[in-house]
Amino acid sequence: MKNQTILITGATAGIGRATALYLAQRGHHVIATGRRQAELDRLVTEAGPSLRISAIALDVTNPESIAAAVTSVDTLTNGAGLDALVNNAGFGVMGPLSELSDADLRRQYDTNVFGLMAVTRAFLPAMRERARGSRAGARIVNVSSIGGRVTFPFMGAYNSTKYALESLSDALRYELAPFGIAVSLIEPGVIRTEFAETAMSPVSRFESSVYGPAIAKADVLRQRMEATAVGPDVVARAIHKALTARRPAARYVAPRFGHLLLAMLAVTPTCVADALFRRMSFLSRRELAPPA
């Protein structure tokens, strides 16, 4: 499947930006969206005139912004609509659940869950029409995380949104199949992107917390892991496969060695896995600060 018109949310950095360039280099018309217009403009400039990348400002948490994006896409495609939608916009709130506010959780869900579904619903009517007139149908690719199948300490808010996305994607896959729309999930592992910095940046917020020492040490471990992580292109390749495969899989783990972690956890007793995750996150009585 070539020459598709593909909209990507969250295309200003990391996986979204890498995917926009990767798909455009393979002959697709990419509609890159995001909240930061300056970054979108830089992406278009980097792509140059030889690649078909259009930029549209889009805040997935803003209904008016979504409606404007639908109108812009209709104009860009002369009413033909999208062949594919890549829901990539997302971010991570880090911290112990007992110390995150309701506002923290709502902000996390507004982007990663409610925003994703709002964008999907907005583009679905035109995508159904497009799929009806195409032998190849249409595609929706949702970028989840291996953290949608494994919960990590201090990442419960983020992980819970990805667990929700796993279920929502399964339901969409069942419900949209009769219309010729295939739905796939991408489950990245540790990837070297700006997203990790965004997720981990508020470490100082918990300095006075009982969890402060543990979070600080976990941040050091995270930096070491990220230093050896693969770049976002490995995820871009998985997204490309989901968009172009004749029969796309329901799930793609990227990088593939993430399968090893999932397989190991599947046969590891819960008590053993718990002890491992607590150790990696420095969650022992001696590591935690005494309550004030």
pLDDT at position 2, please? 67
Q: Which two tokens stand for residue 159?
A: 């992980």
Ranges of the chain with pLDDT below 70: 1-2, 192-202, 227, 287, 289-292
Read off the DSSP letter of residue 77. T
Residue 253 and residue 286: Cα distance in Å, rounded? 36
CA 228 to chain centre: 20
Give the start-to-end residue ranges of the domains of the chain. Answer: 5-192+231-267
Name the residue with tokens 């990348």.
Answer: 53
Residue 292: its pLDDT value, please? 56
Residues 85-104 have pLDDT tens digits of 999 999 988 889 999 999 99
How far is Cα 62 from Cα 118, in angstroms, rounded to an integer?
Answer: 9
- According to CATH, the topology of domain 5-192+231-267 is Rossmann fold (3.40.50)
Residues with catalytic function: 158
How confident is the model at residue 285, as a pLDDT?
72
Instruction: Say whether 187 sits in a helix, a strand or coil.
Output: strand
Global model pTM greater than 0.75: yes
∠ CA 80-83-85, nearest 5°, is: 120
Closest CA to 8 of 116, 109, 133: 116
Q: List pLDDT tens digits, range 1-25.
A: 668 999 999 999 999 999 999 999 9
Would you state the pLDDT for residue 161? Answer: 98
Tell me the helices (H) and strands (E) count for the chain, helix number first: 11, 7
Give residue 8's pLDDT: 99
